[in-house]
Amino acid sequence: MGTLDGKIALVSGSGRGIGRAIALKLAGQGAQVVVNGLDPERAEETVRLIKSAGGDAVAVIGSVTDDGFAERFVQTAVDTFGGVDIVVNNAGHTWDGVIQKMTDEQWDVILDVHLRAPFRILRAVQPVMSSRAKQERARGVRVHRKVVNISSVTGVGGNAGQVNYAAAKAGLGGLTKTLAKEWARYQVNVNTVAFGYIQTRLTAATADANSTINVNGREIRVGVNPDFMARLEHLIPLGRMGTPEEAAGAVYLLCTPDSDYITGEVLVCGGGYI
C-alpha cells in the first residue's frame, strides 16, 4: 500500500533529471503517472522504469509551450486513467544573460516555458478537478488534490544573469498563491517547491564554455564553472548540492495526505541555501 494509491499524476518534463525522479517517486507510492518529455526515447524510458517497478504510466511527447499541449496532456490522463489528482509543473530550462545583452526571444522563451505553460496546464485541468470536487461534495466526501509548481531560489531572491528566469519563477509564486485561494473550494492544495542547487545536466560542473543542450532547435548553454561550484558548496549549509531524488522528496511531501492543510506556500529545498 502506497500513500498515493489510486492517484493520477501529471508530471511535465519527466523524461530525465528531477522530473524523472519525481515521476518515479510518485509512481513508487502508487500513483499512475502521465510522463512528458521532448525526447521520445527519454520519456518512454521513464515509463519503462515505472512499469518495471510494478507501476503504471503513459508518455505524452511534446513541448509544454506548444499550442494544444495542455489539453492533450490533461485529456491523456482522463482517457487513460480516469482523471487527474496531482499536477507537477516541472518542465523548464534556463537561457541566461545580463539584461543589456538579453534578447526579446530569450525573455519570451523562458517566460513561456516557466510561467505561460504552467498557466495553460492548470487552466486545462480546472474543469476536471472542479467537476470531481462537486460530485464528491454532493456525496459528502472530501478528497484533496494537489498542484506542485517547481520554482527556484532564483525566483525567491534573484540571481545575476537570470532576469528572465527569476521573473518567470517569481511569477509562478504569484500564480501559486492566487490559485490556492481560487481552488480552495475544490479542496485543491496549490504549493510551490523552490529548488536550490540540484545535481542535473543544467548545473553540472564544466570548464567548457561551449557546453550546450538543444531545446526546440536552440542551443542553450548549460553547466557551472567548477571553481564557482567549489565556492558555492561552502555557501550551502549542508555542504553539498542536492540529488534529484532529494528534490523529488520535497515534491512528494506536498502530494501526500500529510499536506492536506498546507496551501499557497513556497517550500525551499536547497540544503539551507537561500
Task: Convert the pLDDT of each residue in 122-178 to its tens digit.
Answer: 999 999 999 999 999 999 999 999 999 999 999 999 999 999 999 999 999 999 999
- In this model, does residue 207 exceed pLDDT 60? no
Closest by CA position to 51, among listed 28, 67, 71:
28
pLDDT bin (cut points 50, 70, 90) of residue 210 is low
Q: What is the pLDDT of residue 203?
A: 61
Distance (Å) of CA 81 to CA 28, 38, 78, 101, 209: 17, 22, 6, 46, 44
Catalytic residue of the set 165, 186, 252, 273: 165
- Which of residues 26 and 274 earns the better pLDDT score? 26
Mean pLDDT, residues 13-32: 98
- pLDDT > 70: percent of the chain: 91
| Residue whose grid cell is 485561494 | 181
| Beta-carbon contacts of residue 205 (< 8 Å; ≥ 6 apart) | 223, 224, 225, 226, 229
CB 57 within 8 A of CB 35: yes
- Which of residues 53 and 222 earns the better pLDDT score? 53
197 is catalytic: no
| Helix or strand holding residue 24 (H, E) | helix 17-28
Q: What is the pLDDT of residues 69-80, one digit of tens each?
A: 999 999 999 999
Architecture category of domain 8-197+243-269 in CATH: 3-Layer(aba) Sandwich (3.40)
How far apart (Å, rounded) are the C-alpha atoms in residues 164 and 110?
6
Among 9-18, 183-192, 208-217, which is the least confidently predicted range? 208-217
Q: What is the pLDDT of residues 214-267, one digit of tens each?
A: 676 665 666 566 777 778 788 999 999 999 999 999 999 999 999 999 999 999
